[in-house]
Structure 1
Amino acid sequence: MITALIILGILTVFIIGFVQVYNRHSRVVKKIDFAGEYRNKFVEFANKYFQTYDRYSRSGDFDGELYVWLTMNVSKIQSNLGTFGVMDYIAPFQTYRVSNYQIVINTIPKFRDGSVKDFDTNSVDDCLLRYIGYLKEYSQATQKNLRNPIVWFREGFREILSVPIFILSWFGIISNRTVNSIKDSLIYKVIAGLIALVTLVSGLVTIVVGYEQALEFVNRLLGK
């Protein structure tokens, strides 16, 4: 009976871990798709605009439908970009510098008032390309994890271990930001990984040699 419960517990951890790994990979793929779609629409919009751009009237072919889509989704893409989407900005022919300038969210409105420059559009395209490249590289790692049962167990155990932290968050004792900080900390990951390893090994030993023999071996190690 105890052996069956141990097997069930280990399988449960594996399943929880696999779900976590799968969801993480799916989120990365969705971010790649969204970033790629945003870039394609932005390039199409910018090309239309500059192909007919008149420098005297400071206007070009303005695709209203694409502009609406880009504007409605600009906050999402800017948030996803993180550090890829900010820079120290120096306006053309100006001497002032803007730190932590959000590239995409500040460039899109410039098409409407005619103040957009090649530098602006190139900056948007570059940051999107860098971000997509990073995500594709990261997705290769998450895809490998889908075929690694050890990672499943580690992630599953880490998720179970974090339940008390989530409970504290649900009751408002700690913030979600604190929860994320704890889960992302190196110390937490190392401790959770070591506990997961010990748990897995001890569980497998118990399954192989039996509960009584495993308990006797542990007692012998402890000098009991």
Structure 2
Amino acid sequence: MTQTNILAIIFLLLPLSFGISKTIREMSRTKELSNYVNLFRKIFIKYVTSNGEDNSSYIWLTKNSNKMQNNLGRQGIVTFKQAFDQGIITNYSLIINGITQVRTYFEQPYLGNLAIQTSQVIDDSLIRKIGDFEEQSEILSSKKFNPIELYRKGWKEIIFFPVTLVGWLGLISIQSVENYSQSLLLKFISGIFAILGLLGSIITIVTGYKQFLEIFHKL
């Protein structure tokens, strides 16, 4: 095997290994987040069924409300109608404000029904998020043995590494890094690199570097 063939194999396997590593991390992260939302929901239901008397559950929920709010993302921001026609609140942070609101309702015996109604809205949002994670897990599982998808994802990781590095250094926010990583332009570029890299590596391994150049120049 020539040195050129070895380099072509490395060029083929390196993005693939990046893609496999990325997929494993995504599957692990999705499972971790899903477990966390399930735990949050379990403790929330425990608090609600105690009619607001389980103070330890309330403290735990309050400590973790910011984290849970961030995990819900846009699903956690709703338009909320206040009780007794006091108006409508837009961009209402459902977890952060909703849990406090539930406790306030429980503290007033005649507002118990409102506590239950608000709790149902919060619970529905948690269930939807759990469903999202289950769907993500199914998608990742269906693609984990797809070499083309793994190769494309690997190239995306390689191309995006400078932006990731800037995020690690704290020069831009992690949220900005996440937003950039989901851009259509990045997906398009990584797809082009994946196609060219895959074809180039295979042709080089099969025909040799000189023959590959001849084929490339004829295009």
Q: Structure 2 counterpart of 1:182, which letter?
A: Y
* Structure 1: unaligned runs, 5 residues or longer: 50-59
Aligned to 1:128: 126
Aligned to 1:207: 205
Aligned to 1:88: 79
Q: Distance in 1 between matches of 2:170 and 2:56?
A: 43
More helix as a share of residues: 2
Aligned to 2:8: 6
Deviation per residue, 1:109-134 (Å, 9 max, x gap): 23544256222111111111111112
Q: Distance in 2 between matches of 1:8 and 1:142?
A: 25
Q: 1:40 aligns with which of 38, 42, 46?
A: 42
Q: 2:135 aligns with which of 131, 134, 137?
A: 137
Q: Distance in 1 between matches of 2:152 and 2:194?
A: 6
Alignment of 1:1-224 (within 5 A): 1-49=3-51, 62-113=53-104, 114=107, 117-166=115-164, 178-219=176-217, 221=218
Structure-1-length-normalised TM-score: 0.84
8 Å contact kept, 2:102–2:119: no
Deviation per residue, 1:151-185 (Å, 9 max, x gap): 11111111111234345666777665554443321
Q: Bigger CA drift: 16-25 or 161-170?
A: 161-170
Aligned residues, how many?
210
Identity rate, percent? 31
RMSD of Structure 2 on Structure 1 (CA): 2.2
For the residue of structure 2 that corresponds to 1:147, the secondary structure is: coil
Q: Bigger CA drift: 152-161 or 180-189?
A: 180-189
Q: How much has 1:107 moved relative to structure 2?
A: 2.4
* Structure 2: unaligned runs, 5 residues or longer: 109-113
Q: Distance in 1 between matches of 2:115 and 2:172?
A: 46
Q: Structure 1 counterpart of 2:159, which letter?
A: L
Q: Assess, with a 3 A threshold, how the Cα gap between structure 1 residues 120 and 140 changes in structure 2: closer, same or farther.
A: same
Q: How much has 1:192 moved relative to structure 2?
A: 1.6
